[in-house]
Amino acid sequence: MIMARPVQYHTKVKVGKIPEGYTGQGFFATSFDKAVGLARKNSLWPLPFATSCCGIEFMALMGSHYDLARFGAERVGFSPRQCDLLMVMGTIAKKMGPVLREVYLQMAEPRWVMAVGACAASGGIFDSYPVLQGIDQVIPVDVYVPGCPPRPEGIIDGFMKVQELVGQESLRRRNSDRYKELLATYGIQ
Residues forming the site for ligand SF4 (CB under 6 A)? 52-54, 90-91, 117-119, 124-125, 148-149
Minimal distance, residue 119 CB to ligand SF4, in Å: 3
* Cα–Cα distance measured from residue 60 to residue 161, given in angstroms and rounded to the nearest whole number: 19
Nearer to ligand SF4, 117 or 167 (CB): 117
Task: Render the burial of 118-146: b for 16+ CB within 10 Å, e for the rest.
Answer: bbbbbbbebeeeebbbbbbebbbbbbbbe
* Cα–Cα distance measured from residue 154 to residue 24, given in angstroms and rounded to the nearest whole number: 39
Minimal distance, residue 86 CB to ligand SF4, in Å: 16
The radius of gyration of the chain from alpha carbons, rounded to an integer in Å, stands at: 19
Minimal distance, residue 6 CB to ligand SF4, in Å: 37
Minimal distance, residue 146 CB to ligand SF4, in Å: 9
Nearer to ligand SF4, 117 or 152 (CB): 117
Minimal distance, residue 90 CB to ligand SF4, in Å: 4
Evaluate whether 145 touches 121 at the Cβ level (below 8 Å).
yes
Evaluate whether 134 touches 123 at the Cβ level (below 8 Å).
yes
Nearer to ligand SF4, 80 or 134 (CB): 134
Nearer to ligand SF4, 91 or 163 (CB): 91
Q: What φ, ψ does residue 125 adopt, rounded to 5°?
A: -75, -10
Nearer to ligand SF4, 52 or 170 (CB): 52
